[in-house]
Amino acid sequence: MRLILEKRADRSPFFAIASPFLALLLTLIAGGLIFVMRGINPLEGLYVYFVEPLTQLWSVEQLIVKAAPLVLIGVGLAVCYMANVWNIGAEGQLTMGAIAGGISPVMFPDWQDPSILVVMLIMGAMGGALYGAIPGLLKTRFNANEILTSLMLVYVAALFLDWLVRGPWRDPQGFNFPVTKTFAGWQLLPTLGGTIHLGALFALLACVALAFVMGKTLVGFEIKVTGSAPRAGRFAGFSRNRMVMLCFLLSGALAGLAGICEVASVVGKLQPQISPGYGFAAIIVAFLGRLNPLGVLFAGLLLALSYIGGEAAQVTLGISDKIAKVFQGILLFFILSCDTLILYRIKLEMGRVGALKAAE
């Protein structure tokens, strides 16, 4: 018995829409199996993980709070991947954004008026963009593989932050904990109600703006052509190098913005650990959202649910919240598998006799 792929004449419009949902369904089934293996009733497990968080107001708030950085980063990555530019170092750009944005509150703790918030946000986005520009520059100048360089820079950024908060930026009154002074007043993002902060609004705006850019402008068209038909792009006079830099600057800026928004709200200070892997989870967000800015919005909410469900499962079911990362990995696997159905028909072939019959 063999699996045979048969190319469709056209992209299947049905599966283009259905494949993320199919992937989600398969992930739920796989998740149920994991619960069974851990001796938990699968239906109860899935309910606690994926449904219960949506029934309470505070956890829906948490969902939006966690979705904000995922969407901000994911929408930038979606544009990158659309252009065939593989930025996988968003976690590092997030860290650098948090550091750059954190300069003013750490250096001037008494600076208390709205201007500091604006400065923090701009510096954060710039920090991320400049850090993202490094792999972009190395790619365009020296042809160095951007996947590897951007990832290496994640480790460098994490170690740099670690040094800062343990060394020069450590709060002298912090009982020797590796943290900076806690941000206060105008150094924190205003909330929009409950715990939801301005970051959620930024995420929403970024999605709408990028949906417009990708769908209605020449730059968006250039990005898509460079990604899907590089030869055609060259003939049209589009500069591949310009696109690479643009994508890295854009996705870096958004990741940096997400970084400063995190430390200026949920975390409230700089410390060695500022993100539970948002930069990597955002890769899944980009793919689950079909690299479409509006799709990313929903995908970000779903990935946020996977974080919150993990916490809920830990509390209610006594199962490690590490299961969240497993669900995220499985989900990406199924998304990529199901996307095959858009371009191909999958057939099971029984032995050689079947193959001969099919050929007749």
Partner 1 sequence: MDQSLAVMLTIITAATPLLIAAIGELVVERSGVLNLGVEGMMVMGAVAGFAVAFMTGSTLLGVGAAIFAGIAMSALFGFLTLTLVANQVAAGLALTLLGLGLSGLIGEAFVGQPGVKMPTLFGIDALVPFSLLLTAGVAYVLFRTKTGLVIRAVGNSHSSAHALGYRVIAIRYLSVMFGGACAGLAGGYLSLAYTPQWIENMTAGRGWIALALVVFASWRPLRTLVGAYLFGAVSILGFVVQSMGLGIPSQFLSSLPYIVTIIALVIISGNKRLTQANTPACLAQSFVPDR
* Binds partner 1 by CB under 8 A, chosen from 94, 116, 153, 246: 153
> Site map for partner 1, 275-294, x if CB under 8 A?
-----x--xx--x-------
Candidate segments 5-13, 61-69, 245-253, 254-262, binder of partner 1 by CB under 8 A: 5-13
C-beta neighbour count of 273 within 10 angstroms: 12
Task: Please pick, from the candidates 25, 51, 336, 350, the single residue that binds partner 1 as defined by CB under 8 A.
Answer: 336
Which among 8-16, 48-56, 139-147, 228-236 is the span making contact with partner 1, rule CB under 8 A? 139-147
**Continuous H helices in the chain:** 13-37, 42-46, 57-82, 90-107, 114-142, 146-166, 198-216, 218-228, 230-235, 240-263, 278-288, 293-317, 323-343, 351-359
Token representation of residue 199: 């970051």
Q: Compute the radius of gyration of the chain from its Cα atoms.
A: 22
Nearer to partner 1 (CB atom), residue 216 or residue 347: 347
Residue at token pair 């449904």: 51
Beta carbon nearer to partner 1, 86 or 238:
86
Identified binder of partner 1 from the candidate list 204, 239, 337, 354, rule CB under 8 A: 337
Instruction: Check residue 332 for interaction with partner 1 (CB under 8 A).
Output: yes
Q: What are phi and psi of 345, to 5 degrees?
A: -95, 140
Q: Which residues pair with 346 in a beta bridge?
A: 5
127 and 96 in contact (C-beta within 8 Å)? yes
Least distance from C-beta 55 to partner 1, angstroms? Answer: 26
Q: Is 122 exposed, middle or buried (0-12, 13-18, 19+ CB in 10 A)?
A: middle
The DSSP element (H or E) to which 196 belongs, if any, is: strand 196-197
86 belongs to the binding site for partner 1 (CB under 8 A) = yes
Least distance from partner 1 to the Cβ atom of residue 293, Å? 18
Span interacting with partner 1, options 116-124, 163-171, 207-215, 247-255, rule CB under 8 A: 163-171
- The Cα–Cα gap between 136 and 141 comes to 8
Could you say which of 155, 177, 212, 235 contacts partner 1 (CB under 8 A)? 155
Are 48 and 312 contacting, i.e. CB atoms less than 8 angstroms apart? yes
Q: Tell the burial category of 165 from Cβ atoms under 10 Å away from its Cβ (0-12, 13-18, 19+).
A: buried
Residues 88-127, mask of contacts with partner 1 (x by CB under 8 A): x---------------------------------------
Reduced to 3 DSSP states, what percent helix, strand and coil does the chain have, rounded to the nearest 5?
75, 5, 20
Q: What are phi and psi of 173, to 5 degrees?
A: -95, 20
Which residues, numbered 167-206, are part of the site for partner 1 (CB under 8 A)? Answer: 167
Question: What is the closest distance, in whole angstroms, from the C-beta atom of residue 141 to partner 1 in the complex?
Answer: 8
Out of 151, 179, 301, 342, the residue judged to bind partner 1 by CB under 8 A: 151
The tokens for 6 are 């048969």
Can you give the binding site for partner 1, defined by CB under 8 A? 3, 5-7, 81, 86, 88, 138, 142-145, 147-149, 151-153, 155-156, 159-160, 162-163, 166-167, 280, 283-284, 287, 320, 322-330, 332-333, 336-337, 339-340, 344, 346
